[in-house]
């Protein structure tokens, strides 16, 4: 196993971590805030 193999594994690992971070954060937001609030954005309003 050389440096490039290690880099490949690291790339997979970092990708999975980032995807998991986003999924967990999105799930947490969904639990913490009401759906009506999250969907309350209106076009054209300041």
Partner 1 sequence: MSEATTAAAGGSSGQPTRIALLKVLGPVHVWALGVGIVLVGEFMGWNFSVGKGGAYGSLIACWVVGLLYTCVAMIDSEVTSTVAAAGGQYTQAKHIVGPLMAFNVGLYLVMAYTMLEAGDALVVGDLMKAVAGEFGHADLDPRPFVVLSIAILAWLNYRGVFMTLTVNFVITAAAFLAIVILFFGVAPWEPGKVLLHKELLIDLPYGWIGVIAAMQFAMWYYLGIEGTCQAAEEVRSAGRSIPLGTMSGMITLLIAASLTWYVAAGLMPWEYLGQAITPLYDAAKLTGNGTLQVILFVGTIFSAIASANGCINDASRAWFSMGRDRYLPTWFGAVHPRYRTPYRAILFLIPIAVVFAFQAPLDQVISFSILSGLLGYTFMSLNMMKFRKQWPLGSIKRGYVHPFHPLPAIVLLVLCVATYFATFLGYGATLVAVMAFYILASAWFVFHRYKFVRRGDQFTMPWPRPKGY
CB 30 within 8 A of CB 38: yes
Under rule CB under 8 A, which residues in 10-29 are in contact with partner 1? 11-12, 14-15, 18-19, 21-23, 25-26, 29
33: DSSP letter: S
User: Coil, strand, or helix at residue 43?
Assistant: coil
Cα 2 from Cα 5, distance rounded (Å): 5
Measured from the CB of residue 35, what is the shortest distance to partner 1 in angstroms? 8
Residues that bind partner 1 (CB under 8 A): 2-4, 8-9, 11-12, 14-15, 18-19, 21-23, 25-26, 29, 33, 35, 37-46
């Amino acid at each position: 196993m050389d440096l490039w193999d290690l880099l490949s594994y690291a790339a997979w690992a970092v990708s999975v971590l980032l995807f998991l971070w986003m999924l967990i954060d999105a799930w947490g937001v969904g639990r913490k805030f009401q759906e009506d609030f999250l969907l309350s954005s209106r076009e054209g309003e300041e």
